[in-house]
Structure 1
Amino acid sequence: MKRYYISLCVVGLALLLGACTKNFERYNTDNTGLSNGQLGADFNDLGAYLKTAEMSIINFSGGGDPNSYQLQQNLNADCYSGYMMSPTPFNGGLNNLNYFLVNGWNGEPFKVGYLNIMSPIRKLRNNGVNKNFPAVWAVAQIVQVAGMSRLTDIYGPIPYSQAGGSKTDVAYDSQQDVYNRFFLELDSATTNLRTYLSGTDTLPFNFANFDLVYSGNFNKWLQFANSLRLRLAMHIVRADPATAKAQAEKALDPANGGVITSNDGNMTVKMSGAGLTNPLVFIAQNWADTRIGASIISYMTGYNDPRTSRYFDKSTDAAFPAQYIGIRIGSITGSNSKDDYVGYSSINYKNGSPSFSLTTPVQIMTAAEVYFLRAEVAVRNWANAGSTAQTLYEQGINTSMTQWGATVGNYVSDTTGKPADYKDPKNAANDINALSDIRIQWDDAADIDHKMERIITQKWIAMFPEGQEAWTEYRRTGYPKLFPVVNNNSGGTISTDVQIRRLPFPQNEYNTNATEVNKAIQLLGGADNGGTRLWWDSKQ
């Protein structure tokens, strides 16, 4: 990991430089070289702002250095989700991966959200895009909700309704208020998209030139917006079941435009521009700073999952035979060197026909995830699921297999495969028995807990490698059952069994917005540490 900041990009989310919730306009001015007022005269400039925001949902690398993504997600959610673990003993072996939360790391998502998503989108509004080009403004709103929903799911309360104003101290909104605002913004966006799609108006510029996701296809943006609404609705099902139900049913109402149903509608952000690379692949391939986590290897090898060879490379360590073997989170990987564990499995960038390369688009949401969300709607007996829970569950599996070019075979009818025990070839202290024996085949007679475990486990497998949403789903459902950290250096603030629930607010907020961040802690309802649950994260 390089200790300097660089520009990174991905779509609809946000993670880059900067960190201010007030006066953030001045921090983003030089990103495009434009000032307020220029957009009206040049549609290329207008598109550049939107493109910047799209590319910042996850943050691509800029200048060949994906440091921002590494801090924003890879050394946090990618590992907390059970997908990844680093062989590198950062900070002398005391770091976020064993719950010794590093202040200098934990502000990166915050910086990116306000600098690279909120700021350029505010510029679009300041230049009248919301009034003059409502379909384009709709896409901007969808990108903002996609990106900032990830931010609130990391920290809890965030500045949102007042962010970007002229006030010295910027108030935080409760997470419940932030979610309610997301739903209102999606209302506006989807209404504008449906109006545009039902009319004969055309834009006076080629929007496809600036759209790294759907190449100007507004119908696909509408389907993503509805799918995003469904995702957010399910996030809050324990905290606010009435709103969750209403929003899920609205998302799935056919009259509202539909959701993603096929892989050509997947929300992925293309690489575009000199020096831009897929940050996860760069970190794995060029820096060897990330390897596969033990939890996902346990599930996929235990299930003999056909996607295993598509997701992972086999180990290359000469000390033991080549195999699919991950690193358990919180393992001691060496006092000063990554050499002990760098030969464990990585994402597949070299074995067979590699699934990942430096130009692989960055994945935000897939059709498979949407099928599993619909399966959960069906289990809850809500309206508009569109089919039975079993059919939707199996469609989710099949759609994911198709996405990855895997042959499904008799996978969906398998009643014997179960998660495998983990044995570390280099350190038996890391060994652990599987925490679940959930099987693959749907059982309609099972209780709701077992149905949910099946759905979420298969959704988690299908969402790989997008760790932020996977971590959110683990926290809100308790599934899949992930191996806990081997070494917990949180000083008692984070439970080893319950696992980490959030990141603390950035130190910069204490330095520059202390009054409001202390009010935010009251909204949070607990201490500002990694053990405090978010609003939607009710106890399991």
Structure 2
Amino acid sequence: MKQHKLIFGGLLALSLFTMSGCTKDFKETNTDPNRMPEARPELLLESAIYSAVKANQTRALRLTHELMQVHVTTINSDEIHRYIIRPSESDYMWNAWYLQMTNFRDMYETAKKLRNLPNQTYYDSYMGMALIMDTWLASLATDTYGDVPYTDANKGRSDNLYQPTFDRQQVIYDSMFHKLEEANTLLAQNIALPAANLVRDPLFAGNISQWRKFGNSLYLRLLLRASDRPESNAVVKIKEICETNTALYPLMNSNAESAVLRFTTTAPFVSAFNTYRDYDFNGDNGLTQFFINTLNNWADPRLTKWANTVGGVYEGIPSGYAPGQQPERMSSYNAALKNEPLLGNILNYAEVQFMLAEASLKGYFNGTSQTYYNNGVNNAITFWGLAVPVDHLLNPAITWVDAETTEQKMEKIITQKYFTLFFTDFQSWYEHRRTGYPVLPVGPGVQNNGEMPARLQYPVSVQSLNRTNYDAAVSAMGGDQINVKVWWQKD
């Protein structure tokens, strides 16, 4: 199956993230090995979630953590930490996201058909789940690349559409908001799944209430990301969700309700890193001074889970070092992380608390920012099964100070959030692009005028096989360079 997936990935790139075309004469023989036509929603849900999360894990390690100074390579020729990103880096996630987006959209359409059969109303719940996961992947695609195929995407098999147009990011966000509204309405019915299907839900074991809270928490994440754009009306919706209509939009209320794909060590329910050798996982990566020093200053117990000591202490190395000046690796990832269940995090309760802290700080709704911030700090630690140190919130580097400026408070919120997003796809990069936090040191070897890349370039395959629509998208965005800002990031 692994070989089939690799082969299909190549086909996917050639057909621009659509399913392989099937003619009438080859309906039986030309079958995608990864997805059956009209596959039942419960089967699509499980396999698509695993595939998407595992793909995200690998790029969190390769891209996000290099850009965001969690670790830095000690291989001089690998220059992501210097903000040099080759166009070829774009292909893997584009293909992975659009493949699973197809599966979630198929899941929705199939569930929509099945719901009308006798005693099948529980497929309303599957429709809601599919909308949430479709939105999750669409948000990753647009927040990484900017304007992307969305309305016409994934229609190769259904409509023979292999050259889809690109939607503007604002349009995509509007559609994602509508989908999450629909998901909330569907899941509000709280229609239970059959007992036999519960094991096929790897996130919440069929708990519809928790799915609904996940969807609304994702909604809040995306609204906050768009909140600097007045045309999004995001601030009005944030107030409704967080203050005026909270009963209609329940959010995650504890660590237990976090959306985490908790891996086992039994195939196929394993982490993407399960088969990695220790060297493959972290043999050429050293945790950075920014990452280690911050956690040391906080006396944060998560270091014991995440890092190894050198000479009995946790010590990092500089990121962005000059070519030919690579440092000797010091602390590195704890090898146990390769099979850590929490590395399947999608969105957790601590992140929700930090979102609420920011939204209330900015006056989007009436709330106590300090309470949300403190809850976030504490639950980010207990999420990892660790005890919060005594007087942790009184640490001068952590404690909330009312007299500080809004920007000082924002820096505290987002810096804490950065560590909460450990191994969570590209989220810490998105948040840095949105807020400028955490403030990362710029090493002497950093290129790109010291400017954090604002996006990835479109894949080479898209440029060659969908040229007309690619050119139109590039013209609308203002270029296909890594410094071109996406809609929600523009001034």
**TM-score when normalising by structure 2:** 0.85
- Counterpart in the other structure of 1:229: 219
1:262 paired residue number? 254
CA–CA distance in structure 1, aligned partners of residues 416 and 302 of structure 2: 12
Residue of structure 1 equivalent to 2:93: 109
Q: What amino acid sits opposite 2:453 in the alignment?
A: I
Do the aligned partners of 1:52 and 1:120 also contact (CA within 8 Å) in 2? no
Q: Counterpart in 2 of 1:454?
A: 412
Note if contact 1:53-1:143 (Cα within 8 Å) is conserved in structure 2. Answer: no
Please tell me whether the aligned partners of residues 145 and 457 of structure 2 are also in contact (alpha carbons under 8 angstroms). Answer: yes
User: What residue identity is the alignment partner of 2:371?
Assistant: T
Pair 1:130–1:333, CA change in 2 (3 A)? farther
CA drift of 1:443 comes to: 1.4
- Counterpart among 469, 488, 500 of residue 446 in structure 2: 488
Q: Does 1:530 align with 2:482?
A: yes
2:260 partner SS:
strand
Aligned counterpart for 1:392 among listed residues 352, 358, 372: 372
Tell me, in whole angstroms, the C-alpha distance in 2 between the residues paired with 1:466 and 1:261. Answer: 20
Q: Does 1:178 align with 2:178?
A: no
Instruction: Give the deviation of 1:359 after TM superposition.
Output: 5.1
Cα distance in 2 between the residues matched to 1:16 and 1:300:
41
Q: Which residue of 2 aligns with 1:433?
A: none
Quick one: which amino acid aligns to residue 377 of structure 1? A
CA RMSD in angstroms, aligned pairs only: 3.0
Moved more, 466-475 or 367-376: 466-475
CA contact (8 A) 1:98 1:330 kept: yes
AA paired with 2:350? Answer: A
Aligned 1:208-287 pairs, distance under 5 A: 208-240=198-230, 243-252=233-242, 253-271=245-263, 274=267, 277-279=270-272, 285-287=278-280
Cα distance between partner residues in 1 of 2:287 and 2:457: 25
Residue type at the aligned position of 1:243: N
CA distance in 1, matches of 2:277, 2:401: 38
Q: Which residue of 2 aligns with 1:403?
A: 383
Structure 2 CA distance for aligned equivalents of residues 310 and 333 of structure 1: 31
Summarize the Cα distance change of 1:380–1:130 in structure 2 as closer, same or farther, 3 Å threshold. Answer: farther
Contact persistence 1:229–1:247 (CA under 8 A): no
Aligned counterparts, 1:57-96, within 5 A: 57-59=52-54, 69-70=57-58, 72-89=59-76, 93-96=77-80
Relative distance call for 1:237 and 1:440 in structure 2 (3 A) is same
One-letter code aligned to 1:192: L
| Paired AA for residue 391 in structure 2 | N
Q: Give the Å deviation of 1:109.
A: 1.1
Q: Distance in 1 between matches of 2:196 and 2:445?
A: 53
**1:124 pairs with 2:107:** yes
Which of 42, 49, 55 aligns to 1:47? It is 42
Shift of 1:535: 1.2
- Shifted more, 150-159 versus 97-106: the winner is 97-106
Tell me: CA distance 1:58–1:463, structure 2 relative to 1, closer, same or farther (3 Å).
Answer: same
Task: Specify the code of the residue in structure 1 equivalent to 2:383.
Answer: Q
Deviation at 1:277, TM superposition (A): 3.3
The amino acid that maps onto 1:277 is: V
Q: 1:251 to 1:125 in 2, by over 3 A?
A: same
2:72–2:319 CA contact under 8 A, matched in 1: yes
Which is richer in helix?
2
Q: Secondary structure at the match of 1:459?
A: helix
The count of aligned residue pairs is 463
Aligned pairs for 1:436-447 (under 5 A) are 439-447=397-405
**Alpha-carbon deviation of 1:78?**
2.2
Where do 1:195-206 residues align within 5 Å? 195=189, 197=190, 201-204=191-194, 206=196
Give the whole-Å Cα distance in 2 for the aligned partners of 1:459 and 1:73: 16
- Distance of 2:35 and 2:431 partners within structure 1: 39
Q: How does 1:467-486 map to 2 (within 5 A)?
A: 468-486=426-444
For the 8 Å contact 2:213–2:249, the answer to whether it is kept is yes
CA distance, structure 2, for counterparts of residue 411 and residue 520 of structure 1 = 49
1:414 matched residue in structure 2: 395
Question: How far 1:331 moved relative to its partner?
Answer: 3.2
Residue matched to 1:147: 137
**Secondary structure, counterpart of 1:56 in structure 2:** helix
AA of the residue aligned to 1:108 = Y
Check conservation: 1:79, 1:293, Cα contact below 8 A: no
The gaps in structure 1 that reach 5 residues or longer are 9-14, 40-44, 61-67, 316-320, 416-438
Deviation at 1:271, TM superposition (A): 2.7
**CA distance in structure 2 between the aligned counterparts of 1:254 and 1:29, rounded to whole angstroms:** 46
Matched letter for residue 471 of structure 1 = W
Secondary structure at 1:364 match in 2: strand
1:85 match: secondary structure:
strand
- CA distance in 1 between counterparts of 2:147 and 2:20 reads 24
1:324 aligns with 2:317: no
Give the whole-Å Cα distance in 1 for the aligned partners of 2:68 and 2:4.
25
How far apart, in 2, do the equivalents of 1:305 and 1:149 lie? 31
C-alpha separation in 2, matches of 1:292 and 1:16: 33
**Alpha-carbon distance in structure 2 between the residues aligned to 1:412 and 1:378:** 20
Measured after TM superposition, the shift of residue 26 of structure 1 is: 2.2
Does the C-alpha gap of structure 1 residues 136 and 251 become closer, same or farther in structure 2, counting only changes over 3 Å?
A: same
Question: 1:158 maps to which residue?
Answer: 148
Contact 2:192-2:208 at 8 Å conserved across structures: no
| Structure 1 contact 57–146 (Cα < 8 Å) conserved | no
Partners of 1:106 and 1:344 lie apart in 2 by 30
- C-alpha change, 1:232 and 1:16, in structure 2 (3 Å) is farther
- 2-structure distance, mates of 1:289, 1:228: 34
2:331 aligns to what? 345
How far residue 414 of structure 1 moved from its aligned partner, in angstroms, is 1.8
Structure 2 spans left out of the alignment, 5+ residues: 22-29, 116-122
Structure 2 residue identity aligned to 1:411:
H
| Cα distance, 1:450 vs structure 2 | 1.2
1:285 maps to a residue whose letter is D
Paired with 1:153 and 1:23, the residues of 2 have a C-alpha distance of: 17
Deviation at 1:144, TM superposition (A): 1.2
The residue type equivalent to 2:61 in the other structure is N
Q: Counterparts of 1:128 and 1:407 in 2: how far apart (Å)?
A: 44
Which range moves more in the overlay, 46-55 or 448-457? 46-55
> Please, which of 71, 82, 87 is the counterpart of residue 98 of structure 1?
82
Whether 2:348 is the aligned partner of 1:366: answer yes
1:536, distance to aligned residue in structure 2 (A): 1.1
For 1:475 and 1:403, the matched residues in 2 are separated by 26
In the aligned structure 1, how far is the partner of 2:195 from the partner of 2:372? 39
Instruction: Give the Cα separation in 2 of the matches to 1:267 and 1:368.
Output: 11
CA distance in structure 2 between the partners assigned to 1:294 and 1:16 by the alignment: 38
Instruction: Please state if 1:297 is matched with 2:292.
Output: yes
What one-letter code is carried by the residue in structure 1 that aligns with 2:297? G
Asked whether the 8 Å contact 1:81–1:468 carries over to 2, the reply is no
Relative to the length of structure 1, the TM-score reads 0.78
| Aligned partner letter, 1:134 | D
- Does residue 189 (structure 1) correspond to residue 183 (structure 2)? The answer is yes
1:357 correspondence with 2:339: yes
